[in-house]
Structure 1
Amino acid sequence: MQTVLELRGAELVLDGNAGPVEILRGIDLSVARGESLGLVGPSGSGKSSLLMLMGGLERASSGSVRALGQDLTSMDEDGLARFRRGHMGVVFQSFHLIPTMTARENVALALELAGRPEAARRAAEELEAVGLSHRLDHYPRQMSGGEQQRVALARAWAPRPDILLADEPTGNLDSATGEAIMTLLFGLRDRGATLVLVTHAPELAERCDRVVRLADGRIA
């Protein structure tokens, strides 16, 4: 089976007030095409930082990070942005929707940046697929947390990325809405995406093909 994400000896050291802080320490990890992987562990264990390394949103201090055969550690910021635009979708815990854009415009922007045609029409179709056809022209402030998360998911998936990264996708949601988001996420995996999730929710981790536990910046 093809490997789409591979980290070898990956480390992340950030500057803190009292000096360098080791966030990730010698991570070796491979993720296969079409796999769903759950990253679990206590707060501060490095889960979200590992997800950011996978997405090229943080640069490894040492070691290597490869995605779809490309070395992310050797790319500059523009190269990383182009790579993500063509191959990755990211769902952040705090949504990161653009507040001055409607739901349709938020999703259409991702399609436009990826060079996809008929962005507005396709954005409406993606929002309908996540149950938000009645919210196309609403702004983020006019939507609930669950609705905003659905918009974020539609935006990440609309360009059909090879890899979907999600940081605590159900963390801010009630149980019913969280279950709906889980169903949507694993529906995307069934449509060919490789899925990597950071989660504290046991029920979400249990649905993954494989679970990796982190502790103190290492794979436990």
Structure 2
Amino acid sequence: MSTSVLSLTDVNLTLDGNAGPVKILQGITLEVQKGESLALVGPSGSGKSSLLMLMGGLERATGGAITCLGQDLTAMNEDRLARFRRDHMGVVFQSFHLIPTMTALENVATPLELAGVPDPMARAAEELEAVGLGHRGGHYPGQMSGGEQQRVALARAVATRPAILLADEPTGNLDGANGEAVIKLLFDLRDRHGATLIMVTHAPDLARRCDRQLRLTDGRIALSERAA
């Protein structure tokens, strides 16, 4: 029997623009199942990244309800949302967001330390090894290539063994070879930890590897399509 880990019901997002309110998302209703891989696709400006941010509690819905792992995200304040993300989610951004003054090992260890995981450095070293960067732990982000930085970001996102992994254009800043390596890592890490994977992507090949594609148009779900 499938288990829903994320449920959105009639979710709306309206932001204030220079010319008045702008409707970003309208009437989004969907369920994401445990262990599912879901690609959010659609043209630029369709609301994909905004939907991902709502799912991660990084943006607040202006209407509707969002339930994640049985918890009502819309009822949480910022501190509770931050703790919930720390304990249950890993987030990977297109622009990496590594801390430049910390080594790769320290970057990966930081969320583990915040979560109170015993021996965070050992776990961080293990995760760097899993993404093929065990030998780069002492290097700073500025000493690494874009592909290496994204792999460090991936290691950091999965280090806490999150139930849900959110990725916003994870290959957007990478060339073909590095992008392919990161894609393989995403799915390998998902499989290794049994996480639910939700990603925004413009890459059709990457979207087709997911169990389901959700196409957005003008802030609405236009199509939900399962893999053949």
SS at match of 1:127: helix
Can you list the C-alpha shifts for 1:178-208, whole angstroms capped at 9, x where unaligned? 1111111111222210000100001100100
- Name the structure 1 match of 2:135: 134
* Percent sequence identity over aligned pairs: 75
Q: Does residue 2 of the first structure (1) align with residue 3 of the second (2)?
A: yes
Q: Per-residue deviation at 1:156?
A: 0.4
Matching residue of 1:36 = 37
Choose the corresponding residue for 2:202, options 182, 200, 205: 200
Question: Deviation per CA, 1:133-192, whole angstroms, max 9, x where unpaired?
Answer: 121011111111111100000000000000000000111111111111111111122221
| 1:63 maps to 2:30 | no
Aligned residues: 220
Question: Is 2:198 the partner of 1:176?
Answer: no
Mapped to 2, the partners of 1:189 and 1:61 lie a distance apart of 31
1:95-134 → structure 2 map (5 Å cutoff): 95-134=96-135
AA partner of residue 200 (structure 1): H
Residue of structure 1 in register with 2:154 after alignment: 153
Q: Following TM superposition, by how much is the alpha carbon of 1:19 offset from its aligned partner in structure 2, in angstroms?
A: 1.3
Alpha-carbon separation, structure 1, partners of 2:39 and 2:166: 10
For the aligned residue pairs, the C-alpha RMSD in angstroms reads 0.7
- Structure 1 unaligned regions, length at least 5: none
Secondary structure of 2:139 counterpart:
coil
Q: Residue in 1 aligned with 2:225?
A: none
Residue 93 of structure 2 corresponds to 92
Residue 28 of structure 2 aligns to a residue whose secondary structure is strand
1:93 CA displacement: 0.9
Residue 219 (structure 2) aligns with: 217
Residue 31 of structure 2 aligns to a residue whose secondary structure is strand
Rounded Cα–Cα distance in structure 1 between residues aligned with 2:39 and 2:116: 30
C-alpha separation in 2, matches of 1:117 and 1:18: 51
Say if 2:8 is the partner of 1:13. no
Counterpart Cα distance in 2 of 1:105 and 1:122: 11
Alpha-carbon separation, structure 2, partners of 1:69 and 1:129:
31
Helix, strand or coil: the match of 1:146? helix
Once residues 141 and 212 of structure 1 are traced to their aligned partners in structure 2, the CA distance between those partners, rounded to angstroms, is: 36
Counterpart of 1:85 in structure 2: which amino acid? Answer: R
* Structure 1 residue 216: Cα displacement: 0.4
Q: Which amino acid aligns with 2:197?
A: L
- Which consecutive aligned stretches of 4+ in structure 1 deviate over 3 angstroms post-superposition? none
Using the size of structure 2 for normalisation, the TM-score is 0.95
| Alpha-carbon distance between aligned partners in 2 of 1:218 and 1:104, rounded to the nearest angstrom | 40
**SS of residue matched to 1:80:** helix
Unaligned runs of 5+ in 2: 223-228
